[in-house]
Amino acid sequence: MTKFDQVYKDLIRKILDEGIEELNVRTGKKTKALPGITFSIDLEKDGLPILTLRKNPLKSPIAETLWFISGSKKPDEFLRKFTKMWDPFLESDGTLAAAYGWRWRHAFGRDQLDALVKLLTADPSSRHGVVVTWDPREDGYGGIPKKNVPCPYTWTVNIIGGRLHLHNIIRSNDMMLGCPFDTLGFSLLANILAQKLGVRPGIYTHSISNAHIYDNHYEGAKELVSRTNDHTNIMLKLPENAYDRACNMDEALVPEILEPLMAQYNPLPQIEGLSIAV
């Protein structure tokens, strides 16, 4: 198995065995959950963390990540050409109220992503490379109603030893669907930022405050932990100028990233019944 397959499989088993089962009032479903889960993947050594123990979508997290970099909050701009995954969360005006990229580039009085690139270009040793997605003025606490609030709510970039390390902090992760998706997307983001800054990709760290499995996913989770394979690491071949092309919503960038990954990807069959809890 790949490094990510093993890490992920061990986490799912741990939650099944040790997770606390409680009712989630918002969804009406029970979950097994554990607090404070963290794992790391060396993107240079272990490749792009793509789940192979079941068939996992690749095009949608790639397109989503590029859309985030563009700073848009309208899926009709670029994203819906590749996936309609955000449609259930759209507001009446066709926007995503808590679009991550919009928050990174247009909220809080500054373009955080642009500032990050400029900061680490000028001073690679800086420890101030923090990007925030959660809006404390509006998100959560039973405040302004939204169809979606950010799960990955902040991330930090450090350049250490000539490599870019990204630490992603997630308040809540649906482990069977959200975790593999977010891990792939933010690892791709780390690679794109490393290329833009002229350094090598480093360690991607994924920290979850509430790591849970929904009760309608229990059987699928048991099926996953019973599986094994001999899949090799999947290495990313990133096209040149990926950051700038994403900023400009270059649609050709999606297949240029996707096709070399698909040529290496030979997953086990999908697991049925993994419907999203909205």
Which CATH number characterizes residue 139's domain? 3.30.572.10
Residue 144 inside a domain? The answer is yes
Residue 176 inside a domain? The answer is yes
Q: How many CB atoms lie within 10 A of CB 218?
A: 17
Alpha-carbon dihedral of residues 204, 19, 54, 251, nearest 10 degrees? -40
Residue 213 inside a domain? The answer is no
Looking up tokens 């990233």 gives 257
Using pLDDT thresholds of 50, 70 and 90, give the confidence band for residue 278. low
Residue 275: predicted pLDDT: 76
Q: How many CB atoms lie within 10 A of CB 179?
A: 24
Residue 274 inside a domain? The answer is no
Using pLDDT thresholds of 50, 70 and 90, give the confidence band for residue 276. confident
Share of residues in the chain with pLDDT > 90 (%): 87
Over 80: is that where the pLDDT of 147 sits?
A: no
- Domain range holding 169? 42-207+233-262
Of 50, 151, 157, 234, which is the active-site residue?
Answer: 151
Query: 130 near 160, Cβ under 8 Å?
Result: no
Residue 118 inside a domain? The answer is yes
> Domains in the chain: how many in total?
1
Query: 212 near 178, Cβ under 8 Å?
Result: no
Q: How far is CA 233 from CA 2, 61, 180, 265, in A?
A: 5, 18, 15, 9
Q: 38 by DSSP, 3-state: which?
A: strand
**Beta bridge pairs of residue 237:** none
Name the token pair of 188. Answer: 């791709």
Query: 12 near 211, Cβ under 8 Å?
Result: no
Per-residue pLDDT tens for 152-201? 999 999 999 999 999 999 999 999 999 999 999 999 999 999 999 999 99
Residue 169 inside a domain? The answer is yes
Using pLDDT thresholds of 50, 70 and 90, give the confidence band for residue 273. confident
Q: 199 by DSSP, 3-state: which?
A: coil
User: Catalytic: 247?
Assistant: no
Rounded mean pLDDT, 120-133:
98
Residue 9 inside a domain? The answer is no
Q: 105 by DSSP, 3-state: which?
A: helix
Per-residue burial over 192-211, b = 16 or more CB atoms within 10 Å of its CB, e = otherwise: bbbbbbebebbbbbbbbebb
Residue 10 inside a domain? The answer is no
Looking up tokens 């950051």 gives 243
Average pLDDT, the chain: 95
Per-residue pLDDT tens for 18-33? 999 999 988 889 999 9
Using pLDDT thresholds of 50, 70 and 90, give the confidence band for residue 144. low
Residue 88: predicted pLDDT: 87
Per-residue pLDDT tens for 58-101? 999 999 999 999 999 999 999 999 999 898 888 889 999 889 99
